[in-house]
Amino acid sequence: MALLLPDCTFFGPALPEPFVKFELERLLRAKDLLPEPRGEAGRRLDDQWEAYRRKLRALGEQGGERRVVGHVLEPLGTALGYGELSLAEDVATREGTEDGGWLFRGPAGASLRAWAVSVGTDLDAPARRGRAYRFSPVRVAQRVLLAAGERIGLLTDGEELRLLLAEPSRPDSHVVVRLDRSGG
């Protein structure tokens, strides 16, 4: 299966455009993370993603945080091999105690932190009027990841999924995957 990224946008220094265009597919194949389309693994992956797309279509344009968790995060966690999804405890950051999001737990003790907000929420704008940009969902998530010592997290409003890459020594990076487009 070819690595096609028409619904993805890359921001920040972690994944520069030349790397994504010319190296990423080769590295994913070398690690057996991108199956051949005609093989059994490729067909299984296509079937899984088609089931995921059906869940996304069922989300519609209305939905609160819990509905986004059920239609976007839970099926994605299953497809990625995570088992349990539970509400995480709040995390102390330099701005005070902030929402710890949700935690996926994997079979070997691996975990992945994720946040969900209501459908159509601007991920870059503060949740409450009069608050500074530093209180937007994406800034809160980045601070929590750094405070928890985690480097990767997910943030979604059901229309886009952001893969957040947090590094203490570099500017933040993220990958935006548009879920409301045909490719998803």
pLDDT (tens digit per residue) in 86-95: 999 999 999 9
What residue segments make up the domains of the chain, in order of their start?
8-178
Mean predicted confidence (pLDDT) in 87-115: 93
Tell me what pLDDT residue 72 has.
86
Mean predicted confidence (pLDDT) in 120-130: 78
Tell me what pLDDT residue 184 has.
46
pLDDT (tens digit per residue) in 128-164: 655 566 789 999 999 999 999 999 999 999 888 999 9
**C-alpha distances in Å from residue 85, one per residue of 70, 137, 142:** 10, 20, 20
Tokens at 28, concatenated: 């994913």
Helix (H) or strand (E) holding 129: none
Mean predicted confidence (pLDDT) in 31-40: 74
Place of tokens 């797309």: 53
More confident residue, 34 or 118: 118
Locate all alpha helices (DSSP H) within the chain, ordered by sequence. Answer: 17-22, 24-30, 40-59, 65-68, 74-79, 137-148
- Tell me what the pLDDT averaged over the chain comes to: 84
pLDDT at 1 over 80: no
pLDDT at 62 over 70: no
More confident residue, 43 or 107: 107
Tell me what pLDDT residue 177 has.
87
Tell me what pLDDT residue 147 has.
96
Among 111, 83, 87, smallest CA distance to 99 is for 87
